[in-house]
Structure 1
């Protein structure tokens, strides 16, 4: 029963994360679109920067933006912050449930670096918060005077972390680590800069003072960074289901190309929202990056950096029987070189060829082949009820 409860906890947290992410991305994309489409007109109210008429849901909306703040504080102001907070909190909870508590399975690869799960969690948390610290330092330095220099510095930092973690974690663990780092930067931008700056503006208005215009400018810069990071983060969320993205020799380069693709796509739409000629060349960059990613993924897995020591000694009859079931019913797909037609790589990067592989995935085997019959898909390998019972008896004592 504990495995069932844990599986549903993971599912509901993941669902919450997806729902919160949709809300955050939707509001972020909308406000960037609105901000870029504003028009300056002679009839604007005092201190207004621009306005835009929009139609949706059978009605018309007249949106007016004040670059710093209106002359007087309105009675009611809607704050867009909880979407970001809920996305990060649910994402961190999912990181703990899936990766930190399952570090042996999803983060650690003895062929890369044989570390203790507690060390893996410490390396992960340290990298996430170090990434935010360095990025924030870039934004507070003279680099912030140039949007291009600041963006390139942040990009180089993220790629450097991706390269370093490819020597620390498994391919999947390293990939998700960078996604968590980028997501934390985005949420921290809201929590540490955008919302506090807006509160300072509100406090100035209440005190009858003129708000500092640099507060809004900094918030806008961070908001634009979030806008460009969104698509790469979404790719990482989806990509952890596709081994060709994370379990290959050049996964850190693939991640760098994904960031370029995301920036290119957002640049196209952001330019459109400004009412300027569409930069169709961005789709050429996107297609070239996609082709490069496909080519890099064909290079195969990263070579083992350590010799993996297989368990020694005679195996119990129970495990030998379970091993036989797995190797005859599962390993034709879950292998370094799958034998099943149409399967190019092991599904989700799960390989069940060695004793160590099978033992490491005992929990997953229990959920997919014992508690449920989701594996093999459609029972294509014709696993029998007796064989499932053998697996059940084995995982009960494993």
Structure 2
């Protein structure tokens, strides 16, 4: 794989992430705005022919009158405001992040050899091909006769994504598996806009400018994909920031946690969609969401590996420090020896006894309750070693005096 200076890699990651977040805010923000405005439209006898409804809004000290035509105004304007580049820049910057963080650092973040012994090139090719192939499968489902049955299609797509989450967890590292599901969903959403929603809108606009009626089938297909994007937005946001939360991605039931997230996002959107449309406030959605979050909390508390047996009742600090020194200090030393690291990872130093004690809670989170560290288990920390760390930490929690 390509190796760059760690300074260059870090700045490339920062720039790509900045652009990605900014573009995503613009894209999702405009999407939420139009969905809310659409559902707050109020019909009236005073409105021109062909107008479905209007919405009065106040922003920036001004009054705004938003009007929606069912098809198009009798006289088409010559200039339109299109919302196109927000989605495309979101995907392009996200793909740049995928390359810089995961493909160029595959041995740390994409691969876990205890899951599957892949080379960096094999893992990157698998990730890239899956984005392309899975889009065509999803697109085929939407274009099939199943596409005319919204609920059935939604259920099939949901099951499809859950199966993918489990499959990815059997091939990639936990962090990469959850991120890959987010990348797949994000690709679906951007491709929906790029290949269906925007082209269909342009075709109908071009036809109406020529005096030809709009094609209702094009409108139906664009609306189908727009609805999918609306309900997938909240899950994809959480999946794409999952790498900051080890208990989400580095536990043994990470794929099941993803399944719950994929269900909760649409449930939350249903509340706001219903409320904005004046169809009532389905408060039950928040009870379901709370139950789902409790389920995630429980699943994440079950630990990193199903085969782990309870650790012994005690372990010496000296043994725990030896494990940390062997498995962690090559990256978390004052002068790291891991290739490409110019400074300790996250500026956390673990080559000193007092520093190991200081970061005990963090070690518990990333190496005992989850297997987030070492990343991709590149130093091959064993289950027994994690048990020793757990026993030492349990002893600290119980107030037992440490022994060397």
Same-fold call, TM > 0.5? yes
* 2:348 is aligned with 1:345: no
Counterpart in 2 of 1:261? 264
| Alpha-carbon shift at residue 346 of structure 1 (Å) | 1.3
With 251-260 and 348-357 compared, the bigger mean Cα shift is at 348-357
Counterpart in 2 of 1:31? 34
- Confirm or deny: 8 A CA contact 1:25 1:230 kept in the other structure: yes
Counterpart in 1 of 2:209? 206
The superposition leaves residues 36-62 of structure 1 with CA deviations (integer Å, 9 ceiling, x where unpaired) of: 111222222222222211111111111
Counterpart in 2 of 1:129? 132
CA distance in 2, matches of 1:295, 1:37: 38
CA distance in 2, matches of 1:352, 1:189: 34
Sort the Cα spacing of 1:353 and 1:251 in 2 relative to 1 into closer, same or farther, 3 A: closer
| Alpha-carbon shift at residue 120 of structure 1 (Å) | 0.8
CA distance in 2, matches of 1:62, 1:353: 54
Aligned-residue CA RMSD in angstroms?
2.8
| Alpha-carbon shift at residue 350 of structure 1 (Å) | 2.4
Equivalent positions of 1:236-247 (< 5 A) are 236-247=239-250
| Alpha-carbon shift at residue 84 of structure 1 (Å) | 0.4
Counterpart in 1 of 2:379? 356
CA distance in 2, matches of 1:140, 1:352: 40
* 2:68 is aligned with 1:55: no
* 2:278 is aligned with 1:271: no
Counterpart in 2 of 1:395? none
Equivalent positions of 1:151-300 (< 5 A) are 151-300=154-303
| Alpha-carbon shift at residue 330 of structure 1 (Å) | 9.6
With 203-212 and 184-193 compared, the bigger mean Cα shift is at 203-212
Q: Which of residues 114, 121, 131 is equivalent to 1:111?
A: 114
With 2-11 and 18-27 compared, the bigger mean Cα shift is at 2-11
- Confirm or deny: 8 A CA contact 2:43 2:52 kept in the other structure: yes
* 2:4 is aligned with 1:4: no
What runs of 5+ residues in structure 1 fail to find an aligned partner?
305-314, 359-398
Normalised to the residue count of structure 1, the TM-score between the two structures is: 0.80
The superposition leaves residues 315-365 of structure 1 with CA deviations (integer Å, 9 ceiling, x where unpaired) of: 9xx989978x845469948xxxx971476411892238988269xxxxxxx
Q: Secondary structure at the match of 1:122?
A: helix
Sort the Cα spacing of 1:18 and 1:198 in 2 relative to 1 into closer, same or farther, 3 A: same
Sort the Cα spacing of 1:357 and 1:20 in 2 relative to 1 into closer, same or farther, 3 A: farther
Normalised to the residue count of structure 2, the TM-score between the two structures is: 0.79
Counterpart in 2 of 1:73? 76
- Confirm or deny: 8 A CA contact 1:242 1:349 kept in the other structure: no
Q: Secondary structure at the match of 1:240?
A: helix
Counterpart in 2 of 1:368? none
- Confirm or deny: 8 A CA contact 1:69 1:201 kept in the other structure: no
Q: Secondary structure at the match of 2:56?
A: strand
Q: Secondary structure at the match of 1:62?
A: strand
CA distance in 2, matches of 1:354, 1:233: 26
CA distance in 2, matches of 1:322, 1:204: 63
How many residue pairs get aligned? The number is 342
Q: Secondary structure at the match of 2:379?
A: helix
- Confirm or deny: 8 A CA contact 1:327 1:353 kept in the other structure: no
